[in-house]
Amino acid sequence: MISVDRLGYGFSEFGKAYPSIAFQAASLISLIQTYALPDQALILVGWSYGGPIVAKLGMDLPQTVSASLLLAPALDPQAERYFQIGKLAEWKLTRWMVPKPLEVAQIEKKNHARELQLLEKQWQFIQIPIWMIHGTKDKIVPYLPNTNFAKTHFPKDKFTLLPIEGVGHIFPIRNPKEVIQFLLAEIKKLNDTD
């Protein structure tokens, strides 16, 4: 298992924003090509903004990537939510008060709907399984618009929705057990078919 920071966070060019989903996905290609094993299933997992990134990466590398697991992904450009507090990261007078990760997040947030629009017509060409786990009470990335978007834009024979009743956006942190159990079961299935 390999876990990476998204560009602009952690130890990956901390504080520098990379709002392009395609660029974020492309930045991981060499890592995947270096560590992917031809006889093992490779599943990409992305949460929230990371969801579209791993979906794009799976679309770009269908011969290498076995499946993409999207956890509460922000997919629908029409459902992007903006929070007024983010404006503090934009204004010169208040930017100094905002931690760098929130400043990067605000730049991404401002560009995310446009980035999602660029991919909207491409999702139909995905060739690998796309699994989406989403909490029905998600207030940050709303459940219905994003799941409905996925149902209508991903190929029906490749897409599986797994709703988790009554949970919000941070279920991967609060209750990772369901995600881990699902992932282990799917890895076993993929490896058994190879």
The pTM assigned to this predicted structure is 0.86
Average pLDDT along the chain: 86
pLDDT for 3-33, tens place per residue?
887 777 776 777 677 788 999 999 999 999 9
Query: What does the alpha-carbon distance between residue 119 and residue 133 come to, in Å, rounded to a whole number?
Result: 20
Task: Name the band, by pLDDT with cuts 50, 70 and 90, for residue 101.
Answer: low
Q: What percent of the chain has pLDDT over 70?
A: 85
pLDDT given at position 81: 65
CA dist 163 to 72, 146, 147, Å?
9, 12, 9
Q: Which amino acid type is present at position 114?
A: R
Mean pLDDT along residues 109-133: 92
**Which residues on neighbouring strands pair with residue 129, listed in sequence order?**
none
Query: CA-CA distance, 19 to 36, in Å (whole number)?
Result: 26
Q: Please report which helix (H) or strand (E) contains residue 79, including its range.
A: none
> Amino acid identity, residue 58?
G
Q: pLDDT tens-digit profile of 46-75?
A: 999 999 999 999 999 999 999 999 999 999
Share of the chain above pLDDT 90, in %: 55
pLDDT band at 156 (very low <50, low <70, confident <90, very high): very high
Answer left, alpha or beta for residue 9, where phi above 0 means left and psi between -120 and 50 means alpha: beta
87 pLDDT band (50/70/90 cuts)?
low
Does residue 194 surpass a pLDDT of 60?
no
